[in-house]
């Protein structure tokens, strides 16, 4: 199996959750049946929110590029980054090495098109996704339109709450309310596209189908490591 390098630490609990989901996705009889992961759980990556939303933070890109190079030097044969907002820098990360980069945004966009072709997908994630259009190009390529939260401050508050205190009923309730608003605004499907929110994926309620971008990345990680088939978003 091919070793997968994980650009992690954004946040650390979400990274650990991603790793656990990769373990759970494998029917294993022994250690050797599991996917080999090389993980840089770098909690010192500059804040994506400060850099994108507030405009005063340090640029995360150079740190992410160095992480990618370090993982490949350590033996990673492909790279993943379980943080949706950090995919604003995906191009720089992908170009930093010759290893394939499994792009979670491309995967999530393709899944939206599969579920609701020509429709609208509600993006349940950081306000930064809308501000810099992280999903816009990928969704446009597959003919799907995005729907965003009207109260972006509630989404940001939920992210900060989960980072500080872990998953909570408060955060799940806020995110369910945002889902209801996005459905009212025409969303045919909801995509959980913040890995902090993935920690609450079973508690978030929606009247339309809801899927988690992280779970798509988990499946792609397992598939690519095993060399079973072509992975959507591998570049």
Q: Which two tokens stand for residue 70?
A: 């370090």
Q: Where are the domains of the chain?
A: 4-103+215-226, 105-213
Nearest to 46 by CA among 81, 3, 71, 10: 10
Q: What is the pLDDT of residue 86?
A: 96
Integer angstrom CA distances of residue 197 from 16, 36, 41, 143, 230 = 14, 25, 18, 25, 28
Q: Which two tokens stand for residue 229?
A: 């088939």
Q: How many CA atoms lie within 13 A of 90 on its CB side?
A: 25
Q: What is the pLDDT of residue 232?
A: 62
| Residue 198 burial class via C-beta count within 10 angstroms: exposed 0-12, middle 13-18, buried 19 and up | buried
Q: What number does CATH give the domain 4-103+215-226?
A: 3.40.50.1860
pLDDT per residue as tens, the chain (235 positions): 999 999 999 999 999 999 999 999 999 999 999 999 999 999 999 999 899 888 888 999 999 999 999 999 999 999 999 999 999 999 999 999 999 999 999 999 999 999 999 999 999 999 999 999 999 999 999 999 999 999 999 999 999 999 999 999 999 999 999 999 999 999 999 999 999 999 999 999 999 999 999 999 999 999 999 997 666 656 6
105-213, CATH topology level: Rossmann fold (3.40.50)
| Residues sharing a CB contact under 8 Å with residue 16, sequence separation 6 or more, in sequence order | 41
**What global pTM score does this model have?**
0.94
Please tell me the distance from the alpha carbon of residue 84 to that of residue 108, in angstroms, as a whole number.
10
Q: What is the pLDDT of residue 79?
A: 98
Please tell me the distance from the alpha carbon of residue 79 to that of residue 125, in angstroms, as a whole number.
22
Q: Give the DSSP letter of residue 10.
A: S
Q: What is the pLDDT of residue 49?
A: 86
- Provide the β-strand partners of residue 8: 41
Topology agreement, domain 4-103+215-226 and domain 105-213: yes
Q: What is the pLDDT of residue 230?
A: 64
């Amino acid at each position: 199996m091919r070793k997968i390098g994980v650009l992690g630490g954004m946040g650390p609990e979400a990274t650990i959750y991603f790793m656990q989901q990769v373990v759970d996705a494998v029917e294993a009889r022994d250690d050797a049946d599991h996917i080999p992961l090389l993980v840089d759980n770098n909690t010192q990556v500059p804040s994506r929110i400060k850099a994108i939303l507030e405009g005063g933070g340090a640029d995360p890109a150079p740190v992410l590029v160095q992480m990618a190079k370090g993982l490949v030097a350590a033996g990673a044969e492909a790279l993943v980054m379980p943080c949706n907002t950090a995919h604003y820098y995906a191009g720089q990360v992908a170009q930093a090495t010759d290893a394939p980069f499994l792009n979670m945004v491309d995967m999530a966009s393709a899944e939206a098109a599969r579920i609701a072709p020509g429709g609208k997908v509600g993006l349940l994630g950081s306000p930064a996704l809308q501000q810099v259009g992280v999903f816009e190009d990928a969704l446009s390529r597959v003919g799907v339109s995005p729907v965003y939260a009207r109260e972006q401050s509630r989404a940001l508050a939920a992210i900060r709450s989960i980072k500080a205190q872990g998953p909570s009923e408060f955060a799940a309730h806020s995110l369910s309310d945002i889902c209801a608003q996005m459905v009212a605004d025409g969303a045919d499907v909801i995509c959980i596209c913040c890995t902090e929110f993935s920690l609450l994926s079973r508690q978030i309620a929606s009247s339309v189908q809801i899927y988690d971008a992280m779970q798509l990345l988990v499946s792609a990680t397992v598939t690519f490591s095993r060399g079973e088939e072509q992975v959507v978003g591998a570049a």
